[in-house]
Amino acid sequence: MFLLAVFLMSNIVVVPAESWDTNEIIGYHFHTYFFQTNNASTRLAQTFRQAIQQQIDGGFLRGCRLNHFNTVPRGPHPIGSYETCCNSSSLSRASSWFMQNHGDLSILLHPLTRWEILDHTTRSMWLGKSMPLDLSALSEDLGDDLDHCLPIPGVVVLGPAPRPTRPTNSAQRSRW
């Protein structure tokens, strides 16, 4: 039997090879964090959010949508945050855009599967500094109650995506 060991904050999570998940991931969250009691941090997060919305409206991130702007800790997120929900058709573009433009903001990228705790821990990655999460707010198994960021209401996808616009100065279904 093959084993995959993942080191997570000094704990070892061992995943037996026969339990590897081969299902395709259809949706992803990019959680943008900011210090809600710091005006400069909040303004930076709002400006970044406007730039994300411009990319969505311009069609470059057409498989994405912005969800709630949380000005207090919510769910597993320890400080102010908002999420950008992207389906798999936009993952490459969204990853590239977020990597190049997040500045000093911390971003958590994770898949959307039924295994919410794994998605927020061993299956996630950070852009910028990582944050501790409150895992007690998460479900071990969501079953079929998933948001895959599909379909995106009112969006008709035709032809190749336009090039991104330079950053300048919607809430849909979402748990956090």
Question: What one-character-per-residue DSSP string does 40-99 give?
Answer: HHHHHHHHHHHHHHHHHHTTTTTTEEEEEEESS-BTTBSSEEEEEEEEGGGHHHHHHHHH
pLDDT greater than 50 at residue 168: no
pLDDT tens digits along 54-73? 999 999 999 999 999 999 99
Locate the domains of the chain by residue range: 28-176
pLDDT tens digits along 70-117? 999 999 999 999 999 999 989 999 999 999 999 999 999 999 999 999
Give the integer Cα–Cα distance in Å for 27 and 64: 9
The CATH number of the domain covering residues in 28-176: 3.30.70.1240
Mean pLDDT of 5-11: 47
Instruction: For residue 45, give both structure tokens.
Output: 């997060």
Q: Strands 64-70 and 80-87: what pairing?
A: antiparallel
Q: What percent of the chain has pLDDT over 70?
A: 73
